[in-house]
Amino acid sequence: MAILNSTDNSVVKDYSTDELIQKAKEMRSYSMISIHAAGSGHPGGTLSIMDIAAALYLKVACHDPKNPDWEGRDRIFWSAGHKAPAIYAALAASGYFPFEETVKLRKLGSGFEGHPNRLRLQGIELSSGSLGQGLGVAVGSALDAKLEKRKNRVYCILGDGEHNEGSVWESIMSAANYNLNNLIAIVDLNGLQIDGPTDDVMCLGSLKEKYESFGWEVLEIDGHDMEAIVEAFSKASEIKDKPTAIIAHTVKGKGVSYAENVVGYHGAPPKDGRSGEESLDKALDDIGDPQFTKEKVDSLLKIASDYQKIVDKKMVEKLPKFSKSYWWNDSEDMKVDMVPTRNGFGDALAEIGSDKNIVAHGADITSSIRMNKFYADFPERKNRFFSIGIAEANMTLIASGFAREGKSAFVGSYGVFATGRAWDQLRTTACYNKFNINIADAHGGISVGPDGATHQALEEIAVINYLPNIVLTVPCDSNETYKSTKAITYEEGPSVVRYARTATPIVTDKETPYEFGITNIIRFRGRKAKFPDAFEWKLGTEYESEGEAVSLIACGPMLPEAMRAAWILKEEYGIESRILDVHTVKPLDMETINKAAADTNAVITCEEHQVGGFGNIVAGAINTSKNITSPLVMDMVGVQDIFGESGAPWELMIDFKLVAENIVEKAKKLFDKKSQML
């Protein structure tokens, strides 16, 4: 029945097969333009699912774009949330919003986030992106329809690699147990995931046989044959006693020659800009929708660029102003290099991997987090690297098994998955047993910008710190990440190194003091040609007070911001500050922190994390100190109890008020408050 007028149940338009094929071309074209304009995205899966999305939204599912919350609508859950451009294209084709809006993909505040957010756009049933969760939600929705005697159907779109997650199989089992004949799962079986072919990463075997063994009806189709797609949906609607799985054999990157069956195009935009063998224009030529003339494409890209200009202006306006700009590399001096923090982890792992007692495990983003450095240039280490696929909980348990046998095991993924999804396994198996596993809590904070909230870890400092027997390091740059990774390797029990993805300021070098568990003290000494040279570093155990007025206690990528804040405070207000680099959050250097609090009586904590995650750890340490005799004032800089969103990392830093200028504002208020009290 597809798109309806919910007031009288009339069909708005009944698409023919040829019209659906043409619509799929249009949807592919808009998606590629959007990904190009964003400079990132997931074209591979977006293109492979597009024919099914066109059929489902325009021909099969009952919904009303003019009444998105209509109770009688069919529900469509995208468990594979990284295919977001396909969702936006399908909703635009259905009439929820103009197609032109979709070119604002992954831009701050646009609503077209890197992974879908149901609170921002109508027509989205589920905010998703953490793989393995959508089918369970669909089971619950289908059960509710049975309970309330609604006639609607529930559809769930999954990727094949997503079936690495055990939660998918729990949902498959429960759907069959409840005989949910109103539930239809669609598996985009394109045979590729980030680390390679699914059969190589984590062999799935026959999904048809597996679903059938769990009690499902299974239909296998060519996922690019429009007639077969529509027919399969029709057959599924007639199944009376069990859920149905439509296993659609697809081609990743379908329709764009250079992206078809290419692993590298899982998450990369066209590489050659507008012209070239792997360009946007080549993609549009391959797709073959004649309406996308050069003039039309130019106008769409202008919409995206004009929107970005508005965002840029808002960020400039939002940044606190001083007598001049102190922003990174704006001055003729105080220059700093930017290097991806994750590189430090990879460099350390390449070195540590020479120890034959070290094993490593990948969770399908091996290259992204630099875990591949373990074996990339060392083929003899391949037998000590184990690809677990998209299964972080299982990865933690397998690593624990190695640790039980005396190995030191590295595991890693996005922080939200490595320490979030696997928290119970980390707590009960790794920590309780005090197993030597080393967790790469990668892409911490908002450094994955455009991917949005589902991939931005903003809570793990708190949830990890309170686990017994664990070590937690939060290094500030690539060099310190290298040192922290080496330091945790042979610490007894489980250890976590939390590091950013994006390029961040390099403020340390090989000679910078570093001692595991000991906080560094940093002092601004005056402007220099190079930013790092303007500061002096000492171990906290070796530092004597210089009568500073405020302590800036920071971890991770907030450390460079605290350093920049010290520069601004000195030049704008003559205020001297003591900067604390708490690279080891657990065990915490309470002595250095408490001495800073007692010496300055004014403390600001700085974290790229939910405010108080790190701040409350520091506050708790200070509260137990016996050395504070004068009134103490304290404040915290951090994310204010909200989820992240899509946007460039530096945009988010400004938008969430995490930059040096925000630290300075709070520090000045704290300084004034302290002055009134003393």
- The CATH number of residue 358's host domain is 3.40.50.970
In a domain, 498, yes or no: yes
Residue/partner pairs of 623-627 with CB below 8 Å, 24 or more apart? 624/590, 625/590, 625/594, 625/597, 625/598, 627/594, 627/595, 627/597, 627/598
Together in a domain, 261 and 171: yes
* Local confidence band at 490 (pLDDT 50, 70, 90 cut-offs): confident
Instruction: Kindly state the DSSP code that residue 526 receives in the 8-state scheme.
Output: -
Tell me the residue ranges of DSSP E strands in 168-252.
183-189, 192-193, 196-197, 217-222, 244-249
Per-residue pLDDT band for 521 (boundaries 50, 70, 90) equals very high
The yes-or-no verdict on residue 485 having pLDDT over 90 is yes
Considering the chain, what percentage of its residues have pLDDT values greater than 90? 97
Domain match, 404 and 529 both: no
- Has residue 212 been placed in a domain? yes
Dihedral pair phi/psi, residue 10, rounded to 5°: -85, 150
Say if CB 500 and CB 338 are below 8 A apart.
no
pLDDT digits (tens, 9 = 90+) for 192-235: 999 999 999 999 999 999 999 999 999 999 999 999 999 999 99
The residue whose two tokens read 């604390």 is 580
Say how many domains are in the chain.
Answer: 3
Interior CA angle at 666 toward 661 and 667, to 5°? 90
Q: Among 505, 532, 558, give the residue marking a domain's end.
A: 505
Kindly state whether residues 657 and 539 are assigned to the same domain: yes
How far apart are alpha carbons 212 and 473 in whole angstroms? 46
Residue 171 shares a structural domain with residue 262 = yes
Task: Report the candidate in 376, 394, 416 with the shortest Cα–Cα distance to residue 498.
Answer: 416
Indicate the SS3 state at residue 208: helix
Q: Tens digits of per-residue pLDDT, 586-610?
A: 999 999 999 999 999 999 999 999 9
Instruction: Identify the band that residue 2 occupies on the pLDDT scale cut at 50, 70 and 90.
Output: confident
Residue 95: other Cβ atoms inside 10 A: 18
**Structural domain contains residue 512:** no
- Report CA 318 to chain centroid distance, whole Å: 24
Whether the Cβ atoms of residue 125 and residue 70 lie closer than 8 Å to each other? no
Q: Quote the CA–CA distance of 97 and 303 in Å, as a whole number.
A: 15
Give me the pLDDT at residue 678, please: 72
- Asked if residue 44 belongs to a domain, the reply is yes
**Residue 330 covered by a domain:** no
354 and 249 fall within a common domain = no
Same domain, residue pair 637 and 657:
yes
Judging by DSSP bridges, how do beta strands 217-222 and 385-387 pair with one another?
A: unpaired
Average pLDDT for 39-60:
98
Q: Is residue 325 part of a domain?
A: no
Q: Which residues of 111-133 are buried (b: 16+ CB within 10 A; e: fewer)?
A: bbbbbbbeebbebbbbbbbbbbb
Q: Are residues 422 and 534 in the same domain?
A: no
Whether 331 has a pLDDT exceeding 90, the answer reads: yes
Position 579 in a domain? yes
CATH of the domain at 647: 3.40.50.920
Number of other residues whose CB lies within 10 A of the CB of residue 178: 15
Distances from the Cα of 544 to the Cα of 406, 535, 551, angstroms: 43, 16, 14
Burial class (CB in 10 A: 0-12, 13-18, 19+), 28: buried
User: Model confidence over 258-293: pLDDT tens digits?
Assistant: 999 999 999 999 999 999 999 999 999 999 999 999
Domain span at residue 244 reads: 4-287
Report the pLDDT value the prediction gives residue 625, as an integer from 0 to 100: 78
Can you tell me the distance from the alpha carbon of 292 to that of 285, in angstroms, rounded to the nearest whole number?
Answer: 9
Q: For residue 151, what pLDDT band results from cuts at 50, 70 and 90?
A: very high
Q: Are residues 534 and 499 in the same domain?
A: no
What span, in angstroms and rounded, lies between the C-alpha atoms of 41 and 174? Answer: 33
Instruction: Give the separation between CA 411 and CA 403, rounded to whole angstroms.
Output: 12
Kindly state whether residues 279 and 346 are assigned to the same domain.
no
- Cβ atoms of 117 and 127 closer than 8 Å: yes
End position of a domain, from candidates 264, 287, 310: 287
Query: In whole numbers, what is the pLDDT of the chain averaged over residues?
Result: 96
210 plus 354 within the same structural domain: no
Shared-domain flag, residues 493 and 540: no
Q: Is residue 103 part of a domain?
A: yes
Q: Reduced to 3 DSSP states, what percent helix, strand and coil does the chain have, rounded to the nearest 5?
A: 45, 15, 40
Whether 1 has a pLDDT exceeding 80, the answer reads: no
Per-residue b/e over 600-617, b at no fewer than 16 CB within 10 Å? bbbbbbbbbbbbbbbbbb
- As a whole number of angstroms, the distance between CA 556 and CA 313 comes to 28
3-state DSSP of 310-339: HHHHHHHHHCCCCCCCCCCCCCCCCECCEE
Read off φ and ψ for residue 99, nearest 5 degrees.
-55, -40
End-to-end CA distance of the chain: 74
Q: Are residues 493 and 606 in the same domain?
A: no
Of the residues 505, 527, 559, the one at which a domain ends: 505
The residue type of 382 is K
